[in-house]
Amino acid sequence: MNLSSLLAKHVRDVYFGGNWTWVNFKDTLADVDWQMATRQVYGLNTIATLVFHTNYFVEAIIKVLEGGPLDSKDSLSFAHPPIHSQDDWLQMLDKSWNEARHMADLVEKLPDSKLDEIFVLDKYGTYYRNLQGVVEHLHYHLGQIVVIKKVVQQVK
């Protein structure tokens, strides 16, 4: 298995299961409804905000992998549209699942030689650094979601 395929596997595993930690977005969020997803406790980000935030960077990487510009802004990465219903929440989740699959498919098709190339600008480092970085970012925020979910379930 080449390195691009392994990176794609890491993306799929953190979203859909099979990673070393046995924690993934799909299973973690399976029983989270829109009210739980939007409930803020102790000044922490909401689950919905973290789902949007992680997907924001997945979207940015997809755009670059498809030949587009990197035009994402950190300042916009927490600014999700309002969630007023279960349907709004499920649409956000479906978008995340679809884009995770799409990104993994794009990464898997990259030749390993591309991983050593600069990702848009020198200051961002290589494709490898950014792809591995987004996987680390996903795991980091997934851990936060797991903890926030437990807190929301306890604080009524």
Cβ-proximal residues to 45 (8 Å cutoff; 6+ apart), any chain: 53, 78, 144, 148
Task: In the chain, count H helices and then E strands.
Answer: 6, 0
Cβ-proximal residues to 32 (8 Å cutoff; 6+ apart), any chain: 47, 89, 149
Taking alpha carbons only, the member of 140, 58, 136 closest to residue 92 is: 58
Q: What is the predicted pLDDT for the residue at 1?
A: 80
pLDDT in tens, 44-67: 999 999 999 999 999 999 999 999
Q: What is the predicted pLDDT for the residue at 152?
A: 97
User: Tokens at residue 113, please?
Assistant: 């030689």
- Which amino acid, residue 152? V
Name the one residue in this structure whose structure tokens are 């993994």. 104
Q: In the chain, what are the domains?
A: 3-154 (1.20.120.450)
Which strand (E) or helix (H) includes residue 92? Answer: helix 86-109
Q: Chain-wide mean pLDDT for the chain?
A: 97
Cβ-proximal residues to 156 (8 Å cutoff; 6+ apart), any chain: none
Chunked in runs of 10, what are the mean pLDDT values of the chain (156 residues)?
A: 96 96 96 97 97 98 97 94 98 98 98 97 97 98 98 90
